[in-house]
């Protein structure tokens, strides 16, 4: 079944590349300087091959350069398919209503091509810009007679791999350390599903060890932190001075219970199924405030108490408009702060600091989340 699915995806991807090549060729043929259409097809073929290798070889390293080229061509492929497709549709409808001159049609296709280039450049640049989102949260607790403040940092969805490499990680770690947090949380999708896509795992381990905070770094798994290379992912996390919580909990700073969940729908093996956490909650009682790292915000209904703060990611806030409208419609909360009522848990969902699939963002941001937590 998986092989059939891969075959179908590959065939559709190749058909998309053929469609894009035909449209580019029809535009370029209008110019006298363009004399060798074969060159265009060779270039598109090589780019398509790089993307196919990058996307379909989940358990291999195709090399940093090929991986980056393949990933960025996926962005260009996606934009070209959408914009050329819409242009085709608009022109088809227009021709049924009125006559469209050849010169006008050429101008429209040139404008569509320039729009693809502009959006590709902007989206690729925007994905690398790391913003800071700020929240202030108060958690009522009977465990302490005196208010206490904790400065927390949350990151999610790094998707470390060919594009989100050690240089990107170094930039993220530097920004986090400049915030001087008390505690750091990672709410899943540290990896992009393929450990072998990491070109410098030792360098990444070194960067993670640079993370500086009072109480340390705590992490849960995401759905992409799974698969054939899962054990190597786990080994890197443990070697990086990160406390990994797999349906486990630990007390931080004597007054805070940090809980980390396995992902509810991992893409591949994740060393056992997700377990219920409620029995453990009953054993520790409900006095201590709880910070719960649960990658997918679709799980928030599992938590009931007002002294629980759930930190999630996964949605990327859609990453590329108009997919942000889809995530907003599908999830109870796909981004930002949410609380059903004063007796319910509080939820913060990050748009993530990395990207998945096309390495670009349009209408969303890559972010580090800073949370000022008051326990009282």
Question: What is residue 144's predicted lDDT score, i.e. its pLDDT?
Answer: 57
Distance CA 206, CA 209 (A): 5
Give the pTM. 0.92
Region of 38 (left: φ > 0; alpha: ψ -120 to 50; beta: rest) is alpha
Predicted confidence band at 10 (pLDDT cuts at 50, 70, 90)? confident
User: How do residues 125-150 score in pLDDT, each as one tens digit?
Assistant: 999 999 999 999 999 876 556 778 99
User: How do residues 12-24 score in pLDDT, each as one tens digit?
Assistant: 899 999 999 999 9
User: Taking 80 as the threshold, does the pLDDT of residue 285 lie above it?
Assistant: no
Average pLDDT over the chain reads 92
The CA distances from residue 362 to 2, 77, 195, 252, 348, in Å, are 31, 15, 27, 37, 21
Other beta carbons less than 10 A from residue 49's beta carbon: 16
Buried b (16+ CB within 10 A) or exposed e, 202-221: eebbebbeebebebbbbbbb
Distance CA 219, CA 330 (A): 25
User: Taking 80 as the threshold, does the pLDDT of residue 217 lie above it?
Assistant: yes
Question: What is residue 2's predicted lDDT score, i.e. its pLDDT?
Answer: 63
User: How do residues 174-183 score in pLDDT, each as one tens digit?
Assistant: 999 999 999 9
User: Taking 80 as the threshold, does the pLDDT of residue 113 lie above it?
Assistant: yes
Predicted confidence band at 258 (pLDDT cuts at 50, 70, 90)? very high
Question: What is residue 43's predicted lDDT score, i.e. its pLDDT?
Answer: 94
């Amino acid at each position: 079944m998986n092989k059939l699915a891969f075959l179908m995806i590959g065939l559709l991807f190749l058909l998309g590349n053929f469609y894009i090549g035909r449209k580019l060729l029809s535009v370029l043929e209008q110019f006298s300087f363009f004399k060798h259409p074969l060159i265009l097809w060779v270039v598109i073929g090589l780019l398509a091959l790089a993307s196919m290798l990058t996307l379909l070889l989940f358990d291999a390293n195709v090399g940093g350069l090929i991986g980056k080229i393949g990933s960025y061509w996926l962005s260009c492929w996606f934009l070209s398919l959408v914009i050329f497709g819409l242009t085709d549709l608009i022109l088809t409808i227009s021709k049924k209503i009125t006559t469209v001159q050849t010169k006008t049609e050429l101008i429209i296709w040139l404008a569509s091509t320039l729009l693809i280039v502009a959006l590709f450049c902007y989206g690729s640049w925007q994905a690398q810009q790391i913003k800071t989102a700020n929240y202030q949260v108060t958690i009522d607790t009977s465990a302490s007679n005196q208010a206490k403040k904790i400065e927390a940092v949350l990151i999610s969805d790094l998707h470390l791999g060919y594009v989100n490499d050690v240089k990107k990680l170094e930039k993220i770690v530097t920004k986090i350390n400049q915030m001087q947090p008390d505690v750091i949380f990672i709410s899943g999708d540290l990896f992009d599903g393929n450990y072998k896509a990491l070109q410098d795992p030792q360098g990444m381990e070194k960067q993670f060890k640079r993370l500086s905070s009072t109480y340390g770094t705590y992490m849960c798994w995401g759905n992409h932190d799974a698969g054939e290379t899962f054990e190597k992912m786990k080994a890197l996390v443990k070697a990086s001075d990160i406390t990994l919580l797999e349906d486990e909990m630990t007390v931080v700073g004597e007054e805070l219970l940090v809980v980390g969940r396995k992902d509810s729908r991992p893409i591949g093996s994740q060393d056992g199924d997700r377990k219920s956490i409620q029995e453990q909650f009953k054993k520790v009682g409900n006095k201590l405030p709880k910070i719960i790292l649960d990658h997918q915000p679709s799980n928030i209904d599992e938590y009931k108490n007002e002294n629980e703060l759930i930190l999630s990611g996964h949605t990327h806030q859609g990453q590329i408009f108009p997919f942000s409208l889809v995530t907003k419609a599908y999830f109870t909360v796909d981004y930002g702060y949410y609380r059903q009522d004063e007796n319910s848990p509080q939820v913060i969902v990050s748009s993530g600091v990395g990207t998945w699939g096309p390495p670009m963002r349009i209408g969303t941001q890559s972010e580090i989340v800073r949370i000022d937590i008051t326990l009282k």
